[in-house]
Amino acid sequence: MFYFKASLLNSRISTKLFVFLAVIVFSIFFISPLAILSSSKTENIEMIKVVQLITTIGIFILPSFVMAYFMNERPLIFLGLTKKNKFTDFAFVFLFMILLIPFINLLGELNQRLILPKAFAGMEAWMKTAEQEAARLTEKLVQVRTISGLLFNIFLIAILPAFSEELFFRGALQGILRDWKGVKLAIWITAIVFSAIHLQFYGFVPRMLMGAFFGYLLFWSNNIWLPIAAHFVNNVLAIIFYYLKYNGYHLPDIDTIGTGNTLWLGIASGALTIFGFFQLKKHFQS
């Protein structure tokens, strides 16, 4: 194993990327039977949650740590996990993510108006079906009535995905591509893959842009915990909103803020988001 690690450390970036993909495929091979089992029991929410927990760890977290170990002599530094955190940094990121919501919703609405040429009618129908199925599953997952159910959802749908996906995409994949293609290209390639892998094509553009922001956040700060925090805020706000709505609180749909009658809010949010983006860059690079 040590000989293999030494060989990989000195290998070309393309070889490291190939090995990274091989590790992912190897993980999926062992996890896929669980996914097939859960798909046959789509009404069993508890089963789906257990499978989601296992697949998140097996497909995102473990491959990230394995590849960091083999690719760098200091794997935790490579993943950006060792940087000291400042409260003000997290506060700025939290406020930015709140500010971003209406603009992301506006971009999502525009993205949903995408109409493909007739030649791609079959693909478009499949995309819509996949989107509807993902929305249906998400709705079932967030429909809980107890505080314990809410807390578990926060762990499963907010904390765990934020940590695992940022570790995988920004920490491992972006780190490999950064050494191969340079920082900016690595950020955008990773953002495209990050959005595409969710298989929610009518939210592709806003998710890609959010992924790019997470990538720049890591680049500016060299601290993976900041994109993890930003990702967490995005997820947890939706979970809390839907929990309150499902339990009788009359709240607006968080996904529609910045669209329709509140279009002005989406436009204002966009302008402030662009300004805030450069202010965050200035803050972290000062």
Convert the pLDDT of each residue in 26-79 to its tens digit: 666 666 565 555 554 556 677 777 778 888 888 888 888 887 777 777 888 888
pLDDT recorded at residue 10: 57
- Asked if residue 108 is part of any domain, the answer here is yes
Contacts of 131 (CB under 8 A, 6+ apart): 200, 201, 202, 203
Burial profile 55-69: b = 16 or more Cβ within 10 angstroms, e = fewer: bbebbbbbbbbbbbb
pLDDT recorded at residue 145: 85
* Domains contained in the chain, number: 1
- Asked if residue 143 is part of any domain, the answer here is yes
> By the 8 A CB rule, do 129 and 265 touch?
no
Q: What global pTM score does this model have?
A: 0.86
Cα 88 from Cα 100, distance rounded (Å): 18
- Asked if residue 8 is part of any domain, the answer here is no
- Asked if residue 128 is part of any domain, the answer here is yes
pLDDT recorded at residue 235: 93
> By the 8 A CB rule, do 235 and 225 touch?
no
- Asked if residue 39 is part of any domain, the answer here is no
Please give the angle made by the CA atoms of 41, 47 and 48, to the nearest 5 degrees.
80
Does 225 or 182 have the greater pLDDT score?
225
226-243 mean pLDDT: 93
165-192 mean pLDDT: 90
> By the 8 A CB rule, do 200 and 130 touch?
yes
Does 194 or 139 have the greater pLDDT score?
194
Residue showing tokens 């860059």: 281
Does 106 or 114 have the greater pLDDT score?
106
Does 44 or 235 have the greater pLDDT score?
235
pLDDT recorded at residue 15: 67
Q: Which stretch of 66-80, 88-102, 115-129, 227-241 has the lowest confidence by average pLDDT? A: 115-129
Does 107 or 136 have the greater pLDDT score?
107
Cα 80 from Cα 68, distance rounded (Å): 10
- Asked if residue 265 is part of any domain, the answer here is yes
pLDDT recorded at residue 31: 64
Helices (H), 113-181: 121-142, 147-153, 160-165, 174-181
- Asked if residue 218 is part of any domain, the answer here is yes
Closest Cα partner for 214 from 251, 163, 148, 166?
Answer: 166
Domain of 273 in residue numbering reads as 84-285
pLDDT recorded at residue 151: 93
Q: Which of 21-35, 189-203, 266-280 has the highest mean pLDDT?
A: 266-280
126-136 mean pLDDT: 73
Mean pLDDT of the chain: 82
C-alpha 232 chain-centroid distance: 9
| DSSP sequence for 208-230 | HHHHHHHHHHHHHH--THHHHHH
**Residue 258 pLDDT exceeds 70:** yes
**Residue 244 pLDDT exceeds 80:** yes
Closest Cα partner for 284 from 153, 90, 57?
Answer: 90
pLDDT recorded at residue 64: 86
Please give the angle made by the CA atoms of 99, 56 and 66, to the nearest 5 degrees.
110
- Asked if residue 109 is part of any domain, the answer here is yes
136-164 mean pLDDT: 87
